[in-house]
Amino acid sequence: MDCLFCKISRREISAEIIYEDNDTMAFLDINPRAPGHTVVIPKQHAENILELTAGAVEPLFLTVKKVTAMLKKAFEPDGFTIGINHGKASGQAVDHLHVHIFSRWRDDGGGSVHSVVDNPPKESLEEIALKLKN
């Protein structure tokens, strides 16, 4: 497979790997936006969260939790932003599901996840809820 993150997982491309188990791998982002900016991947190839098998979801997020604790211990940040870019429209650059973990400080110039998009719905919350439940 030609996937960049699959190649990193198979050690065909080098990366600064900070955690690995049978199902997941965490490595430092090559273009860090914060100290310790880490990418966590499932070793199983899945383009996005909807393609990831049910059994692979838990190990992925347990690794996100472990790596977040590692970053907290190493950098003592004020908080974290943890996110997934799902699909090209969201900014996903590598077609392999990955979770970004950013250490955050009060004065780092970043925003909350609410600052990523500004496209409020035209429908009411009730209409949206009905659409989702149907």
CATH of the domain at 10: 3.30.428.10
Residues 92 and 48: beta-carbon distance below 8 Å: yes
Query: According to DSSP H, which parts of the chain are helical?
Result: 4-9, 54-75, 125-133
Percent of the chain exceeding pLDDT 70 equals: 99
* Whole-number Å distance between alpha carbons of 23 and 63: 9
Domain that holds residue 97: 4-133
Q: How confident is the model at residue 104 (pLDDT cuts 50, 70, 90)?
A: very high
Q: Of 37, 86, 98, 114, which residue is the catalytic one?
A: 98
Q: How far apart are CA 78 and CA 104, in angstroms?
A: 6
> Confidence band (pLDDT; 50, 70, 90) for 29?
very high
98 counts as catalytic: yes
Provide the pLDDT for residue 88: 95
pLDDT at 97 over 80: yes
Count of domains forming the chain: 1
DSSP 78: S
Query: Quick check: 20 pLDDT over 80?
Result: yes
The confidence band for 126, taking pLDDT boundaries of 50, 70 and 90, is: very high
pTM: 0.94
As a whole number of Å, the CA-based R_g of the chain is 16
